Amino acid sequence: MSKKNAETRQIKIILLGESGVGKTCIINRYFENKFSADTESTLGSYSTTKTIVKNKIKYIVDIWDTTGQEKYHSITNLYIKGSNIVILVYSIDSKSTFDKLNYWYDSVKDKIEGDDYVLAVVGSKYDLFESEEVPDEEAKSWADSIGAIFQFTSAKSNSGIDLLFENLARKYFNPNFDYKKQ
């Protein structure tokens, strides 16, 4: 197949979760390998686009960073539709951000028909484990119950983020992929 005729597909990834849980920092760490201790809260929703080629297919990947601010929830909800990969983020030092993931998960089920998308639950800011408020088992078993990949990450100490995106890609390209067997 010539490059000109190469098939092109679109992949939409969205990060959801309360304000301050670290969504922007996860994206910045993954794509620019940088971390800032004083990011501004995201106003609205923004996408970054990356292109990858796999098996001669060109994938245009749009990663949507959304704001967790309550006043923008209805706008954030508009961006969920059409997502192929959904990343639900809480901060391990804040139980309320974990509890709120039920709200975001309900929004996902409401906005995306069927279950043809890959889901992850992320326990962010793992470097703050000494202040952890969410029992690991509770978070992992909730992720299991909704069929999500579970991953701890720390954008600050750069851990878990590459693995998160690797496992999401594996699952996207192979729905039978079981991240626990890696």
Residues at the contact surface with ligand GTP, assessed by CB under 6 A: 17, 19-25, 36-39, 41-42, 67-69, 124-125, 127-128, 154-156
Long-range contact list for 104-109, CB < 8 A, 24+ apart?
104/16, 104/17, 105/146, 107/16, 107/77, 107/80, 108/16, 108/80, 108/83
Closest CB 164 distance from ligand GTP, rounded Å: 12
Measured from the CB atom, is 14 or 59 closer to ligand GTP? 14
Measured from the CB atom, is 59 or 65 closer to ligand GTP? 65
Helices then strands, counting H and E runs in the chain, come out as: 6, 6
Closest CB 102 distance from ligand GTP, rounded Å: 17
- Give the position of tokens 């990343």: 87
Measured from the CB atom, is 27 or 85 closer to ligand GTP? 27
Closest CB 1 distance from ligand GTP, rounded Å: 39
